[in-house]
């Protein structure tokens, strides 16, 4: 599974983004320990199906350009393109990717040690 995860992540990395900033951060959980850490971050309606998933991925974003600190008006579009590339590559490999937004976002930042600007 690790090799396929690397392949789908590489597809996301090649997605276009404004100034090639790649404002996304993909955090994968594949090991039993990581999945145990990720699952409580999901809201109940997503746990119904996601508890069976062998891999979970959370996507964080950087909302400002690092080179000048100005707001990146395109971060959602760019991150959506990266997600789409990941999902298409997953399907090409015979995997299914399911997007969800119902998770405890603030808790995810804290639990996973992701800086607030991501």
pLDDT of 103-117, one tens digit each? Answer: 999 999 999 999 987
* Backbone angles phi and psi of 17, in degrees to 5: -155, 155
Q: What is the mean pLDDT of the chain?
A: 94
- Is residue 12 predicted with pLDDT exceeding 70? yes
What is the maximum span of the chain, computed from C-alpha positions, in angstroms?
Answer: 42
Predicted TM-score (pTM) of this structure:
0.89
Mean pLDDT of 73-89: 98
In the beta sheet, which residues pair with residue 24?
61
Is pLDDT of 8 > 90? yes
Q: Tell the CATH superfamily of the 2-112 domain.
A: NADH Oxidase (3.40.109.10)
Domain coordinates of the chain in residue numbers? 2-112
Closest CA to 30 of 39, 41, 42: 39
CA distance 90 to 56: 13
Predicted confidence band of residue 3 (pLDDT cuts 50, 70, 90): confident
In this structure, of 59-63, 98-102, 103-107, 114-118, the range with the lowest mean pLDDT score is: 114-118
């Amino acid at each position: 599974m690790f090799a396929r995860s690397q392949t789908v992540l590489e597809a996301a990395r090649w997605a276009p983004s404004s100034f090639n900033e790649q404002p996304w951060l993909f955090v994968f959980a594949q090991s039993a320990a990581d999945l145990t850490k990720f699952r409580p971050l999901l809201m109940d309606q997503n746990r119904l199906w996601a508890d069976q998933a062998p891999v979970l991925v959370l996507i964080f974003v950087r909302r400002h350009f690092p080179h000048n600190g100005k707001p990146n008006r395109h971060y959602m579009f760019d991150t959506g393109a990266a997600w789409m590339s990941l999902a298409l590559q997953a399907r090409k490999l015979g995997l299914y990717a399911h997007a969800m937004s119902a998770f405890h976002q603030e808790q995810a930042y804290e639990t996973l040690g992701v800086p607030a600007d991501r």
